[in-house]
A = this chain, B = another copy of it.
Amino acid sequence: MPVITPRTLSGFMELLPAPQQQMERFLQTLRETYSLYGFTPLDTPLVESAEILLAKGGGETEKQIYRFSKGDADLALRFDLTVPLAKYVALHAGELAFPFRRYQIGKVYRGERAQRGRFREFYQADIDIIGDGKLDIANEAEIPAVIYTTFIRLGLERFQIRVNNRKILNGFYAMQGLSERSGDIMRTVDKLDKIGAEKVRDLLVEDVQLSGGQADEILKFISIRGSNAEVLNALEGYAGRNELFDVGLEELKTVTRYLDAFGVPETHFAVDLTIARGLDYYTGTVYETVMLDHPEIGSICSGGRYDNLAEYYTERQLPGVGISIGATRLFYVLQEQKLLNEKLNTAPAELLILPMTQDLTAAAEAATFFRGCEIRTQLYTEQKKFKAKMGYADKLGIPFVAFLGEDEAAQNKISLKNMQTGEQQLLTLTEAANVILEDMRVRGNGKLIRG
């Protein structure tokens, strides 16, 4: 007597087994790459006191947050990984070594209006480097290397890391006597890609109330294009007129200078003066990453330098730099665009053992042997017709099937069928293991994203 129709909440991703295998590989690649750069994993609670999460307060966050009470406690689900990091560092500062480099990959919650490709529960995958009082610019120079290696290891080839420096922008607007309107200006300029230069100029004049000359000056500035050297050279033309600008330019030159040493090819990096990111938080270098063949997706990895991580929880000055990948959304987009490599094994096992005898001893022994060789192995246990058993292997996409009948058992061998080629061989267990391990090695070299 089933009483309730099963359903999963809208905006909450729940994958079938094969795509879930791809998602696991995605997250595992992020974990491994972040670790390679000396970031340590953290795992903070998904539930925090609402007072903690909403310390900064304001706007969209408060509307979207999942907030509830239990007994006397006023609780909420985290809506990002930055606020919990701020709390963590403020709370445990005495026990941490600075610079503190951590990554966290975890689910966050935002009760947005559900629509296609928008999620209410989604993974973020963040790295941050937090300094105690100070943090050297070299850290900002290293971040593009983490981004580059992450996407290369995922298998993405055509992407570009775009970098700017908020001090350059703020310094430039100060030169123009426009510091107080810099927020409005940046919000308008941010539309450049979408609406084009002419319309941005109209908005700057009509809505932000700049003179035509000021608007032209801004458009000229953000239109600076070229190789890193060319852009930096053009920026030198503005040097010496504003201290903040000059500091920002020095920082940008440092970030650019170390790119090669950190292994980031110039093809995958560009100084881009149109990039501003959010308004309050970032104070230095800012990063975005775009897929060159899919600019419509927007930035797939963003972040920047900030001067004070945890001002709501501690008087300690904690500057930092960090980036975030919206992993659920990115995975969804890769899937939609059919960019995931279909050659990767998404089956639960490399090998399915099909016993052809009533007694399972030989089959269980074989399964134990293959598992000892680190081969993911399933023993098929059900009493079904041969066709149904093969259909099971087919449906799951298991690459190898081992038949084990009386003949094979008597010889201490199995008949190994390669489901991809149809080839079948009578082999000892060791021979079979070598065939499977070689196939795993070859396919395991494949990457998640098609090149």
Residues of A participating in the B interface, judged by any CB pair closer than 8 Å? 1-9, 12-17, 20-21, 23-24, 35-49, 51-52, 55, 66-71, 73, 75, 77, 86-88, 90-92, 95-97, 99, 101-102, 107, 109, 111, 121, 131, 134-136, 138-139, 141-142, 145, 149, 257-258, 261-263, 310-315, 347-349, 352, 360-362, 364-365, 367-368, 371-372, 374-379, 381-383, 392, 395-396
Q: Which residues of B contact A5 (CB under 8 A)?
A: 313
A360 to B136, CA, bound (A): 12
A129 closest partner in B (C-beta): B381
Can you list the 10 inter-chain pairs with the closest CB atoms, starting with the nearest?
Answer: A38-B378, A68-B68, A261-B364, A40-B348, A138-B381, A12-B45, A38-B349, A6-B313, A6-B91, A263-B368
Residues on B with C-beta less than 8 A from A87 are: 6-8
Residue ID in chain B nearest A4 by CB atoms: B55
Which among A49, A55, A134, A379 has the greatest number of chain B C-beta atoms within 10 A? A379
Contacts of A376 in B (CB 8 A): 35-38
Asked whether A379 and B313 contact (CB < 8 A) given A20-B40, A102-B17, A360-B261, the answer is no
Q: Which residues of B contact A139 (CB under 8 A)?
A: 381
Report yes or no: B47 in contact with A361, Cβ–Cβ below 8 A: no
Decide if A2 touches B315 in the complex (CB within 8 Å): yes
Using A36-B376, A263-B368 as known contacts, say yes or no to A9 and B97 having CB atoms under 8 A apart: no
A258–B68 alpha-carbon span in the complex (Å): 50
Query: Closest CB-CB distance, A66 to chain B, in whole Å?
Result: 6
Residue of B nearest to A37 (CB): B371
Please tell me if the beta carbons of B313 and A4 are within 8 angstroms of each other in the complex: yes
Q: Which residues of B contact A40 (CB under 8 A)?
A: 17, 20-21, 347-348
Q: Which residue of B is nearest A349, CB measured?
A: B38
User: In the bound complex, do residue A49 and residue B7 qualify as a contact, i.e. CB atoms below 8 Å apart?
Assistant: yes
Contact B311 A2, beta carbon cutoff 8 Å:
yes
**Measured between alpha carbons, how far is A362 from B48 in the docked complex, in Å?**
44
Contact between chains at A47 and B262 (CB < 8 Å): no
Given pairs A7-B52, A21-B40, A40-B347, 9 additional interface contacts (CB within 8 A): A9-B75, A35-B348, A47-B66, A66-B70, A71-B111, A101-B378, A139-B381, A261-B362, A261-B365
Determine the distance from Cα of A102 to Cα of B46 in the docked complex, in whole angstroms: 24
Q: Select one of B15, B121, B349 contacting A46, CB under 8 A.
A: B121
Q: What are 27 residue pairs bridging A and B, where the CB atoms are less than 8 Å apart in the complex?
A: A1-B311, A2-B90, A6-B52, A6-B87, A6-B88, A6-B310, A7-B87, A8-B45, A8-B87, A8-B91, A14-B43, A20-B40, A21-B40, A21-B41, A36-B377, A38-B377, A47-B77, A47-B109, A97-B392, A99-B381, A138-B379, A139-B381, A142-B364, A261-B362, A261-B365, A262-B368, A263-B368
* B-chain residues with CB within 8 Å of residue A6 when the two chains form the complex: 52, 86-88, 90-91, 310, 313-314
A90: shortest Cβ distance to chain B, in Å?
4
Inter-chain contacts of A261 with B (CB < 8 A): 360-362, 364-365, 368
Q: State the CA gap A42–B16 with chains docked (Å).
A: 8
> Which chain B residues border A41 with CB–CB below 8 Å?
17, 20-21, 24
- Asked whether A360 lies within 8 Å of B138 as measured between CB atoms, the reply is yes
Residues of B within 8 A of A347 (CB): 40
Question: A374 vs B35: C-alpha distance in the bound complex, in angstroms?
Answer: 10
Report the nearest B residue to A369, measured CB to CB. Answer: B263
- A136 contacts across to B, CB distance below 8 A: 381-383
